[in-house]
Amino acid sequence: MTTASTARPSLYSALSHAPVRAAGNRPDLSIYRAPGAASYGRFKFRAPAEGLVERDGPKGTQVEWTDEFEIAFTKMGERGPLVLFLHGVPTNRAQWEDIQAHVSRFCETISIDMLGMGESSKPRQYGKKSDQRDNDLWYWRNDVDYIEQLMQHEYPGRKFIFVADDWGSGINSHYAARYPDRLDGFVQLDPIAFDGYPVNEIQAIGRASMIPNTPEGDAMFAGAFGAFDQTLVQIYKTMVYDPNVYNQYNLRRITFPYVDVDYERNGAGDGVTDVARSLTLRLKFHNCRVLADRAAILSPALLLPYDAKRNPEGVRYENITVPSLIMWGEFDNMMPAAQTQRFANVLGTDDVQITYIPRAGHFAGTDQPDFVADTIVNFIRRVKGRQALADINLGNTGIWKGDERLMIGELRAIHRLGGAV
């Protein structure tokens, strides 16, 4: 028999508190359970070919051929459905930092740097040690292999929701088509897709891969990329609706690893200067070379649908049978939002949710992190069910009248979430 002391609150009670403060006040996100501190790690794997990788040794930075690479990752959250985040280009996993932090209140999450970017290994001349011709090792379908190895190593046998944006979506599409049984959901944010790739900004970087890999060629490359830090900043600022979301401080995290930033001092001991001057922002030409190599080999055929004769490297979209969410910034001036409708007609599922992100450009998650985080959490709730989440989600926006702490407490008790009994 249920007594008054053990009875769970009613839905009426949860949603009928008197306002504690005026409606429309700033949301109090401290009502949510903390996702816990982020943890960082590296997954080591053996690649199918060698590349030149920089390593720090007793004699300073050295370059050596190796097929042993690492994928850097950030984990947040310890309960709920598993979510993998993969970034775009030319960025790194920090692009998902704000969104991952909120989603981690409800889910277990991991974000990674794709091979060649961020803190992951950056193999120059990947696969060209004995054959200098173009090769397909930088095709998006090959990134699928280390992602599957990583996820099986860190989360053996667990299904997950795969979230990717921009360039990462090319990898995401190939993964979902090859391993649909490994996924609970398929999410893309302003993806490169179909015949919308390549784009001029990345094409220009890719052309630099034609500069010879010789000492003379390296000098030519350094000259050609002498203003690459400025080019990066201009690319980033055209990829968002509001360029003011970027400044010289938060740009540090996404210009890495192409720009080595130290505004306060110069610790290199190279005789350039002991205080901050222009050359304090050093370009890392090895990493820029890797980016050029990756950009050079990719083509629209790799993202158009598979055809045995005409496009054998394409994506088998019909194999993507899991619930899917396609989000697009309404003001994306690089990959137009009108492409979203194509997904509803080529994926192998009828469960395709299309969401346009208001006042957002190509990096929509940077423009509107709260909106994107809420959309992802609500998609996961719909796909996995309310009780799969680690907590109740009341969103980041909307009507906040001051009773949210009471409301979420009672909803936790009703749905037995967030530690409620």
Write down all domains in the chain, each with its CATH number in brackets. 34-390 (3.40.50.1820)
**pLDDT at res. 420:** 47
3-class DSSP state for residue 363?
Answer: coil
Per-residue model confidence as pLDDT tens digits over 378-412? 999 999 999 999 999 999 887 888 889 999 999 99
Per-residue model confidence as pLDDT tens digits over 205-261? 999 999 999 999 999 999 999 899 999 999 999 999 999 999 988 898 999 999 876
Q: How many CB atoms lie under 10 A from the CB of residue 183?
A: 21
d(CA 178, CA 390): 29
Cα dihedral 23, 24, 27, 32 sign: positive
Given the DSSP bridges, would you call strands 160-166 and 324-329 parallel, antiparallel or unpaired?
A: unpaired
Question: What is the average per-residue pLDDT within 142-160?
Answer: 98
Give the DSSP per-residue string, 319-353: G--S-EEEEEETT-SSS-GGGHHHHHHHSS-S-EE
d(CA 158, CA 237): 38
- Using the predicted structure, report yes or no on whether residue 419 has a pLDDT greater than 80: no
With CA atoms as reference, report the closest residue to 328 among 317, 340, 320: 340
Q: How distant, in Å, are the alpha carbons of 189, 327, 340, 355 from that of 372? A: 9, 8, 16, 10
Question: What is the average per-residue pLDDT within 155-172?
Answer: 97
Using an 8 Å Cβ cutoff, are 27 and 33 in contact? no
